[in-house]
């Protein structure tokens, strides 16, 4: 489908019959999209650092139109239809199948990177906020000496089997008790901590590998506080995390030695 000046639609595949031979760079594009599910064109440029940005952007267009290995989410076209906006990409089912055949599936950095019938699935704008935060952190690790980003799949691979098999392995039950630090809690409250993301950074120091882990919370709409615990707020979430960290429940549930909270 072409527009009035002969350009292909941004969201409808228009094949021209161009033959493509997939190379290592194409596989890396698919792997990054599988790792995060959604990535903007600007994310991919930062992560892959091509010599020619123009040719790289053209290649993304070919991978979408000619191969069907990547998608441009049509359901969200109204958010990204302006040509000044950086295009949003998503790996397609065909792309996942191709990586599977190539035995090239990477570890995921977010738990919503594959469509599931169950589990926590935030909305697109919230997902993009999570992705923006994590890609910035991973990029910093990629170009920092002696640092390595530890994604959620690597963490869960070492977690207890009961956690890996749970409907939502990120969910931890906690009990919030009244205390002076969180006056909103007036009586014992049972709750669940469900981070938007869980990640770590591996450091090498004096030949020894050290690890630090973070639970990520990205807030778009929740107010800083409420006068009730019936509805969510940043203050209530902080109280839940403090209770979970104080009891070190994360050690038994995720099998990690430490945890800090990163609120954005």
Condensed to tens digits (0 to 9), the pLDDT of residues 14-46 reads 888 888 999 999 999 999 999 999 999 999 999
Give the whole-angstrom CA distance, residue 245 versus residue 252.
12
Average pLDDT taken over every residue of the chain: 87
User: Residues 185, 245: one domain?
Assistant: yes
The encoded tokens of residue 74 equal 């049509």
Question: Any idea which residue has 């006068």 for tokens?
Answer: 227
Pair of tokens at residue 39: 């990535």
**What would the pLDDT profile of 95-133 be if each residue is shown by its tens digit?**
999 999 999 999 999 998 555 434 334 478 889 999 999
CATH number of 9's domain? 1.10.10
Do 237 and 126 have their domain in common?
yes
Instruction: Tell which of 57, 77, 106 closes a domain.
Output: 106
Q: How many structural domains does the chain have?
A: 2
135 shares its domain with 262: yes
Q: Whole-angstrom Cα distance, residue 10 to residue 232?
A: 38
The residue from 66, 89, 106 where one domain ends is 106
Which range among 52-61, 83-92, 188-197, 232-241 has the greatest average pLDDT? 52-61
76/157 same-domain check = no
Better-predicted residue by pLDDT, 238 or 179 = 238
Residues 94 and 120 in one domain: no
pTM assigned to the model:
0.86
| b/e burial code for range 184-213 (CB count within 10 A of at least 16 → b) | bbeeebebebbbbbbbbbeeeeeeeeeeeb
Which residues lie below 8 Å from residue 65, measured CB to CB, with a gap of 6+? 8, 13, 14, 15, 16
> Which range of residues forms the domain containing residue 120?
113-264
């Amino acid at each position: 489908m072409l527009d009035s000046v002969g350009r292909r639609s941004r969201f409808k595949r228009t094949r021209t019959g161009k033959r493509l031979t997939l190379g290592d760079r194409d596989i890396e594009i698919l792997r990054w999209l599988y790792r995060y599910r959604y990535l903007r064109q600007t994310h991919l440029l930062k992560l892959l650092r091509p010599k020619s940005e123009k040719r790289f952007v053209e290649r993304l267009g070919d991978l979408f139109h000619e191969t069907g290995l990547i998608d441009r989410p049509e359901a969200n076209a109204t958010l990204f239809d302006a040509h000044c906006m950086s295009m949003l990409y998503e790996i397609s089912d065909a792309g996942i199948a191709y990586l599977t055949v190539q035995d090239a599936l990477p570890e995921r950095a977010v738990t919503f990177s594959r469509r599931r019938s169950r589990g926590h699935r935030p909305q697109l704008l919230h997902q993009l906020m999570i992705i923006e935060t994590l890609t910035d952190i991973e990029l910093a690790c990629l170009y920092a000496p002696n640092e390595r980003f530890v994604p959620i799949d690597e963490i869960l691979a070492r977690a207890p089997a009961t956690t890996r098999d749970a409907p939502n392995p990120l969910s931890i039950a906690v009990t919030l008790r009244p205390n002076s630090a969180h006056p909103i809690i007036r009586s014992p409250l049972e709750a669940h901590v469900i981070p938007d993301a869980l990640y770590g950074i591996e450091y090498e120091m004096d030949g020894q590998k050290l690890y630090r882990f973070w639970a990520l919370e990205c807030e778009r709409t929740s107010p800083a506080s409420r006068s009730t615990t019936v509805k969510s707020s940043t203050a209530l979430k902080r109280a839940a995390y403090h209770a979970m960290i104080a009891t070190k429940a994360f050690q038994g549930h995720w099998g990690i030695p430490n945890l800090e909270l990163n609120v954005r």
